[in-house]
């Protein structure tokens, strides 16, 4: 544990060092109360405030100020890990019975926005609903993260301020998933469906008005259980669908804060040139570009063809051409300093697609030849992708790379409404895809995206041996051993070309200098509470 903590701490300190200059003024100043902030939203709230029925930053970011979790990643620390978790509704917690029981001791005197008291019943209500326990008091319309709670056997509430999660097997990652922005506690006395239209939370801000398609406005929660918080009187999340207008709005000062994951390196450079005083912080997003290949259908049922695709794509050239340098290479978990579990660049060199581009392409041609694909008998495929620019740009680059090794791919754009459903059904040959991880955690990623039969395992790749390793790492209590297992799993995934990773996108999170103490995390989903943020103007 100590070694693991040391490793995390080193990574954390490195990032903090980079950010130190950016946040130096905020750290040295006394916070001020009052004022409000205008915050960017790229589209209206997808499912209202119903975070548990949504998997998009367009819900989590604007809905987070309304809620609290049991535990949360420390808002002041950009790198997220088990070591940066702090209590929120839980005052303290304790792992018991060799990581089989997780007991939370809740804060007293916490009130919902409608004045009713918060108790352990609310916690049981929420997590029974999420894991779809037979005796759950409510059911969600859709429940995208049910798998996160698959290991929960029972939830016990011995008294109004104690909750015990009984797990089927040890799972250290369980606490990490509870700290995600996707894990707020709902009120037991409020129907879950009502969160699609309004919000009764315990959070630092109360919803004042939601003008559909236009803005969401919050006011300070005067009864917030953290004394002296929030600093701000209010927040206004302004929906601006057009990217050019969004950029102009932040440049002109109509907005104080950008949208997580929205500012590319190119835009950041333009903004900095126009308004030098803007504070721009490069952070990871835990969103990666990847190639999905349907392993159930020819030709990608042949691992040689899949590997040829992986070898053919020059990741570093893609990062320059498509992202203007605003991304980093990595395997299936985000690399340091943006994540805790990812393979470092030096460890990637031996994997498909990371060597010298000409060598990699030669290797790809050789593999294709072995699979019977030659210039005389070229492979013709449809490259499916979601019909939005960030997907299409990447897909176009990949098509060009594949052409150089003899794969003739044509672009097939799929409308957003159909993209995920199509990918889950496996109605495609090869696709250019983006995957976002709610938490930087092996359990949160491997089961969802590589698990046999998982609906989000778009490639339909199934390796039982690998899944045993995934189960093993999930319950491994020795951090060093677990990290080694996680590394091995990532290598296997790349060597099998299960879902070749191309890059991890970076965000250039932008705020005006009067916005203080807003520390962007290397994960876009988990720093939206904003209770520590203040305005120096």
Partner 1 sequence: MVGEALESPPHAVWGLPVKTYIAQRLAIALLTLFGMSLVIFLLLRLAPGDIVDVLFSTGGYVRPEERVAIMKELGLDKPIWAQYVEWLRQILTGDLGKSYRYDLPAWQIVKPLIPVTVELAILSTVFAVLLGVPTGVVSAVRQDTTLDYVLRVFSLAGLSMPSFWLGMVIILGLVAWLGWIPPVTYVPPGENFRLHAIQFLLPALAVGYRSSALMTRITRSAVLEVMREDYIRTAWAKGQSGRVVIWRHALKNAMLPVITVIGIEFAFLIGGLVVTETVFNLPGVARFLVQAILWRDYPIVQNLVMFIAIVVILSNLLVDMLYGWLDPRVRYGE
Binding positions for partner 1, rule: CB under 8 A? 43-44, 46-48, 53-56, 58-59, 141-145, 193, 196-197, 211-215, 236, 238-242, 244-245, 248-249, 251-255, 274-275, 415-421, 424, 455-456
Residue that the structure tokens 């609903």 belong to: 129
CB of 8 to partner 1, least distance (A): 28
Cα separation of 338 and 331, whole Å? Answer: 13
Q: Which of 214, 393 has the CB closer to partner 1?
A: 214
Residue 55 CB, shortest distance to partner 1, in Å, is 3
Which of these, 214, 203, 194, 120, lies nearest to 160 by C-alpha position?
A: 120
DSSP assignment letter at 146: G
Which CB atom, from 236 or from 304, has the smaller least distance to partner 1? 236
Is residue 328 within 8 A of residue 495, CB to CB? The reply is no
List all residues 6 or more positions away from 252 whose beta carbon is below 8 Å from its beta carbon.
Answer: none
| Angstrom distance (rounded) from CA 327 to CA 283 | 10
CB nearer partner 1, residue 243 or residue 403: 243
- Among 440, 378, 439, 435, which residue's Cα sits nearest to residue 409? 378
Torsion of CA 489, 495, 500, 502, to 10 degrees: 90
In the complex, least distance from residue 488 CB atom to partner 1, rounded to whole angstroms: 27
Q: What are phi and psi of 281, to 5 degrees?
A: -120, 115
The residue (of 53 and 401) whose beta carbon lies closer to partner 1 is: 53
Give just the sign of the alpha carbon dihedral 364, 447, 333, 458: positive
- Residue carrying structure tokens 């859709």: 142
**With respect to partner 1, which residue has the nearer C-beta, 276 or 375?**
276
Contact 59, 45 (CB under 8 A): yes
Q: Which residues pair with 95 in a beta bridge?
A: 102
Nearer to partner 1, 192 or 342 (CB): 192
Q: How far is the CB of 429 from partner 1 (least distance, A)?
A: 19
CB 244, min distance to partner 1, A: 6
- Minimum distance between the CB of residue 416 and partner 1, rounded to whole angstroms? 6
Q: Which is nearer to partner 1, 413 or 472 (CB)?
A: 413
Alpha-carbon gap, residue 213 to 207, rounded angstroms: 16
Residue 258 three-state SS: coil
Q: Which CB atom, from 50 or from 82, has the smaller least distance to partner 1?
A: 50
Strand blocks (E) in 50-185: 71-73, 85-87, 90-96, 101-106, 152-159, 162-167
**Residue nearer to partner 1 on the CB measure, 46 or 133:** 46
Q: State in angstroms the smallest separation of the CB of 54 from partner 1.
A: 6
52 and 145 Cβ atoms separated by less than 8 Å: yes
Task: Find the radius of gyration of the CA atoms of the chain.
Answer: 23
Residue whose structure tokens are 């990490």: 176
Short-list 75, 50, 206, 156, CA closest to 528? 75
Q: How far is the CB of 387 from partner 1 (least distance, A)?
A: 11
The minimum distance between CB 458 and partner 1, in angstroms, equals 11
> Residue 186 CB, nearest distance to partner 1 (Å)?
16
Considering the complex, state which of residue 47 and residue 288 has its C-beta at the smaller distance from partner 1.
Answer: 47
């Amino acid at each position: 544990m100590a070694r693991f903590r040391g490793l995390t701490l080193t990574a954390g300190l490195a990032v903090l060092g980079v950010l130190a200059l950016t946040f130096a003024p905020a750290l040295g100043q006394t916070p001020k109360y009052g004022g409000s902030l205008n915050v960017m939203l790229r589209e209206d709230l997808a499912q209202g405030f119903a975070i548990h029925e949504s998997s998009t930053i367009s819900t989590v970011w604007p809905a987070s100020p309304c809620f609290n979790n049991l535990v949360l990643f420390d808002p002041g620390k950009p790198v997220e890990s088990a070591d940066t978790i702090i209590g929120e509704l839980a005052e303290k917690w304790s792992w018991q019975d060799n990581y089989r029981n997780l007991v939370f001791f809740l804060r007293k005197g916490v009130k919902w926005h409608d004045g009713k008291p918060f108790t352990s019943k609310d916690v049981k209500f929420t997590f029974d609903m999420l894991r779809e326990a037979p005796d759950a008091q409510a059911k969600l319309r859709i429940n995208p993260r049910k798998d996160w709670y698959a290991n929960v056997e029972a939830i016990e509430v011995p008294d109004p301020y104690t909750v015990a999660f009984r797990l089927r097997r040890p799972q250290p990652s369980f606490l990490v998933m509870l700290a995600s922005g996707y894990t707020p506690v709902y009120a037991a006395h409020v129907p879950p469906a009502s969160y699609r239209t309004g919000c009764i939370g315990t959070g630092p801000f109360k919803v004042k008005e939601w003008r559909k398609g236009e803005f969401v406005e919050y006011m300070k929660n005067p009864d917030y259980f953290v004394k002296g918080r929030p600093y701000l009187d209010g927040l206004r999340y302004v929906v601006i669908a057009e990217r050019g207008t969004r950029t102009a709005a932040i440049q002109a000062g109509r907005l104080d804060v950008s949208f997580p994951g929205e500012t590319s390196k190119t835009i950041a450079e333009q903004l900095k040139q126009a308004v030098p005083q803007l504070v721009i912080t490069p952070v990871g997003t835990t969103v990666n570009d990847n190639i999905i290949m349907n392993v159930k259908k020819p030709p990608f049922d042949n691992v040689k063809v899949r590997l040829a695709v992986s070898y053919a794509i020059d990741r570093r050239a893609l990062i320059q051409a498509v992202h203007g340098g605003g991304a980093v290479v990595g395997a299936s978990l985000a690399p340091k300093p943006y994540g805790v579990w990812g393979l470092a660049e030096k460890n990637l060199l031996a994997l498909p697609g990371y060597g010298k581009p000409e060598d990699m392409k030669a290797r790809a041609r050789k593999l294709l030849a072995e699979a019977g694909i030659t210039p005389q008998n070229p492979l013709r495929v449809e490259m499916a992708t979601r019909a939005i620019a960030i997907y299409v740009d990447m897909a176009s680059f990949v098509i060009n790379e594949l052409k150089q090794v003899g794969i003739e791919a044509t672009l097939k754009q799929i409308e957003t409404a159909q993209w995920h459903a199509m990918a889950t059904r496996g109605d495609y040959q090869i696709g250019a895809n983006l995957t976002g991880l709610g938490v930087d955690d092996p359990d949160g990623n491997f089961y969802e995206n590589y698990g046999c039969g998982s609906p989000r395992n778009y490639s339909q790749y199934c390796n039982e041996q690998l899944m045993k390793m995934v189960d093993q790492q999930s319950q491994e209590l020795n951090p060093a051993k677990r990290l080694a297992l996680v590394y091995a799993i990532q290598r296997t995934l790349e060597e099998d070309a299960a879902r070749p990773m191309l890059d991890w996108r970076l965000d250039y999170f932008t705020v005006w200098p009067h916005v203080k103490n807003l520390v962007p995390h290397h994960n876009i989903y988990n720093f939206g509470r904003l209770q520590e943020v203040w305005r120096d103007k």
